[in-house]
Copies of this chain bind each other. A is one copy, B any other.
Amino acid sequence: MPELRKDPIIGRWVIIATERAKRPDQFAGQVQQLPAEKPCPFCEGRESQTPPEIYAIRPKATAPNGPGWELRVVPSIAPFLGVEGELWRKGKGLYDLMNGIGAHEIIIETNQHIYDMADLSEEQISKVITCYIDRIVDLERDKRFKYVLIFKNHGWIAGGGRVRHSRSQLIATPVNPKRVKEELVGARQYYDYHERCVFCDLIKQEIDLKDRVILDIDGFIAITPFAARFPFEVWILPKKHCADITCLNMPARLELGRIMKKVLAKLKKGLNDPSYNYVIHTAPFRREKAGYWKSIDDDYHWHIEIMPSLTRVAGFEWGTGFYICPLPPEDAAKFLRGVEV
């Protein structure tokens, strides 16, 4: 009998469709005919092929937009939002709109032509985290923005495009994304009732139950969520309560690099290099204005959600908000625990 499970944070029900369940290893191995690789503009020595860098980790002796860097951030050449201009809002009859002010940046995670973040070193991944934090802190100064979304599209199916060089993206937006707002509101409701953080409670329960834990190392835990939307959906959470990723100190960034590399390597090896997306959910800017100021630091908890692209059913979920996950998250966690990396 399938099970209906409710996400404890935002209250979304999902169907864990055990009747249709495949074995975990059946999700692997669907290698796709990919379009030809494009020449890479992101490798060291090709700095002139990108717009000028906004940020870089590079020795002081090297010049901006020249070689010698370890990590670069450049504006997107096809931005979703434009960075110049005043933000305006207006009504149009019953509709509300604003001009598309925002920032859209590409985080080039390595100077080597490496495709999957799983193949970067732990130290290099921790530098990517440092870059995320530095960019969030910098963009928070811009009063037009309310949020910075950090995400990764890896692989063709996940929207990763035809350039096979490991990178993430960032979009600064003048509104809070719906999913983040839902989490803030849901976590706040839980806190109002229990006076505890829902994520902290969830982490404690997962550590007790063990069956959805993939890795529990240092200050971080990687789990498959109870009400998973997708097979092999993985969340990485800091075990210590923290609303905002920018609070992470250097040792914790290294620990995060370590667990991210391990999780991504397990997905890569166990599922035959799947496409995936991840998003970072962290507290929004200037929280006091968002109506959550009172104890935001107590009721929200930043985390990373990783979503491998292994199933096709999409439009139905888009149209209904009803997700059907064909693999129990306990089976996914057990499988991933068993993948040696």
Which A residues are closer than 8 A to B by beta carbons?
1-6, 8, 11-13, 15-20, 33, 78-82, 85, 93-100, 149, 151, 153, 157-159, 171, 173-175, 177-180, 182, 198, 201-202, 205, 209, 226-227, 229-230, 276-279, 305, 307, 309, 312-322, 324
Chain B residue at minimal CB-CB distance from A155: B315
Does the CB pair B94–A315 fall under 8 Å?
A: no
Report yes or no: A153 in contact with B313, Cβ–Cβ below 8 A.
yes
In the complex, the answer to whether B79 meets A19 with C-beta atoms within 8 Å is yes
Q: Are A95 and B6 in contact (CB under 8 A)?
A: yes
Shortest Cβ distance from residue A213 to the other chain B in the assembled complex, whole angstroms: 14
Known A-B contacts: A179-B320, A179-B321, A180-B320. Give 20 more (CB < 8 A).
A1-B99, A2-B82, A4-B98, A5-B96, A8-B95, A20-B78, A33-B33, A80-B324, A94-B202, A149-B322, A159-B313, A159-B315, A173-B322, A276-B315, A277-B314, A277-B316, A278-B319, A305-B319, A309-B315, A314-B314
A19 contact set on B, CB distance < 8 A: 78-80, 82
Complex-state Cα separation, A177 to B307, whole angstroms: 21
Could you pull out 15 A-B pairs where Cβ atoms are within 8 angstroms? A1-B85, A4-B100, A8-B96, A12-B178, A16-B100, A93-B205, A159-B314, A177-B320, A177-B322, A179-B320, A229-B318, A276-B315, A307-B319, A309-B315, A314-B314
Q: Is the CB of A97 within 8 A of B6?
A: yes
A159 to chain B, nearest CB (A): 4
Contact (Cβ within 8 A) A315 B6: no
Residues of B within 8 A of A3 (CB): 97-100
CA distance A58 to B336 in the complex (A): 51
Closest CB pairs A-B (n = 5) = A277-B315, A2-B100, A178-B321, A279-B319, A179-B321
**Which residues of chain B have C-beta atoms less than 8 A from A205's C-beta?**
93-95
Residues of B within 8 A of A153 (CB): 313, 315-316
Choose one: B100, B158, B319; the contact of A17 (CB below 8 Å).
B100
Q: DSSP class of A's interface residues: helix, strand, loop or mixed? A: mixed
Shortest distance from the beta carbon of A291 to any chain B beta carbon, whole Å:
14
Q: Which residue of B lies closest to A320 (CB)?
A: B177
When the two chains form their complex, are residues A316 and B151 in contact, meaning their CB atoms are under 8 A apart? yes
Q: How far is the CB of A146 from chain B (nearest CB, A)?
A: 11
A11, A85, A314 interface centre (most CB from chain B within 10 Å): A314
Distance in Å: Cβ of A207 to nearest Cβ of chain B: 12
Name A230's closest neighbour in chain B (CB-CB). Answer: B318
- Bound together, the chains give a CA A230 to CA B174 distance in angstroms of 21
| Residue among A16, A81, A94 with the highest chain B CB neighbour number at 10 A | A94
User: In whole angstroms, what is the CA distance A307 to B276 when docked?
Assistant: 23
Chain B residues near A96 (CB, 8 Å)? 5-6, 8
Within the assembled complex, what's the spacing in Å between the Cα atoms of A79 and B17? 8
A307 to B13, CA, bound (A): 22
Asked whether A178 and B319 contact (CB < 8 A) given A3-B99, A94-B8, the answer is: no
Known: A177-B322, A312-B157. A2 touches B151 (CB 8 A): no
Residue of B at shortest CB range from A173? B322
B-chain residues with CB within 8 Å of residue A201 when the two chains form the complex: 94
